[in-house]
Amino acid sequence: MTEPQSVFRFAPSPNGELHLGHAYSALLNLKIARASDGKMLLRIEDIDTVRCTPQLEKQMFEDLEWIGFEWDELPRRQSEHFDDYREALFQLEQMELIYASSMSRSEIKQRVAELEVSGTPWPRDPDGTLLYPGTERQQSQSARKPLNETFGHHVIRLDMAKTVEQQRGNLSWEETIGVSPNNTRSIPADPLVWGDVILARRDTPTSYHLSCIVDDAKQNITHIVRGQDLYHSTSVHRLLQELLGLSAPLYHHHELVLDKTGKKLSKSDRDTSLRQLRQSGTSKEQILKMIGFE
Ligand code: GLU
């Protein structure tokens, strides 16, 4: 029997100019996909329809083509699939695992400041955001408003403690060591460190975590190759996959391309933007050399 074809994806957000780190991630995906006769897909993560503009998307395509990234099917654009993410939310509502939250960021900060009066610092998630203090989670299930009344008006959060408690068996993911898909180790997932993650916002009817796992399943992704900065997010992704009955891909979190000071690259830094580099005369070959692809 022949092995099923492996499917990879590169999933940039066109909310700024692509930088050297995107070039590295895209080309690493492509290299591993081609080496395993796999399929390479492109997904446009544009759920933030204000910051992701058609102009930035057009530039993104130009930059990707310029550095030699290729993809095998029409790209999937997340802003065209909000119904898919809503369907997943309704499934989670059926399981009584989500609730509406109306506290703003500043209200959360204020509540945390009150809680910190005792002297113990309030925990933050792996991205450095204060954990939601749980104020609106306390409502009994019958007092919770149904999703179709709150969706679009409130933030929708996952009741993390309840979800993890209900979760049977060990939750983990398979991380490939190096880039060989055959050499993996099991990493225990720890979604509790994220607290009650946001699954949909007021202005965006989904979130990165939700749309990412729904689309990885819709696109039948078997191998996820992405930066180390998303390593901890995988705990949330694995939990959501289990809840929604979606299969788990293999993961490889690669090293990040850093700037001269050792910091993670940012889309606002003009010096590492592919567009800026190209406009200032840097050749494709020089870029490939800079990121170790010669
Ligand atoms: N859209 C994310 C980013 O640009 C990548 C998400 C992923 O690979 O899971 O950082």
3-state secondary structure of 156: strand
C-beta 230 within 6 A of ligand 1: yes
Cβ of residue 226 lying under 6 Å from some atom of ligand 1: yes
Cβ atoms within 10 A of the Cβ of 179, count? 15
User: pLDDT for 165-216, tens place per residue?
Assistant: 998 778 999 999 887 777 899 999 999 999 999 999 999 999 999 999 999 9
Token couple for 122: 């309030």
User: Residue with the nearest Cα to atom 6 of ligand 1?
Assistant: 11
Q: Two tokens at 144?
A: 């919770």
**Ligand 1 contacts CB of residue 21 (under 6 A):** no
pLDDT at 108: 93
CB 191 within 8 A of CB 139: no
By 3-state DSSP, what share of the chain in percent is helix, strand and coil, each rounded to 5? 40, 15, 40
Task: Give the global pTM.
Answer: 0.94
Q: How far is the CA of 36 from the centre of ligand 1 (A)?
A: 22
Minimum-distance ligand 1 atom for the alpha carbon of 12? 4
Q: What is the mean pLDDT of residues 210-223?
A: 98
- Ligand 1 and 19: CB distance under 6 A: no
Lowest mean pLDDT among 118-122, 213-217, 276-280: 118-122
**74: which 2 tokens?**
């029409």
Q: For 76-95, what is the mean pLDDT?
A: 97
Kindly give the distance from the C-alpha atom of residue 12 to the centroid of ligand 1, in angstroms, as a whole number.
5
Q: Indicate whether residue 18 lines ligand 1 (CB < 6 A).
A: no
**Phi and psi torsions of 196, nearest 5°:** -80, 85
* Residue to probe by mutation, ligand 1, list 208, 223, 254, most atoms within 8 Å of CB: 208
Ligand 1 centroid from CA 257, angstroms: 15
CA angle 147, 88, 196 (to 5 degrees): 70
Give how far Cα 105 sits from Cα of 8, 110, 112, Å.
35, 9, 11
Closest CA to 40 of 27, 51, 53, 52: 27
Mean pLDDT (the chain) is: 93
Looking up tokens 């609730």 gives: 99
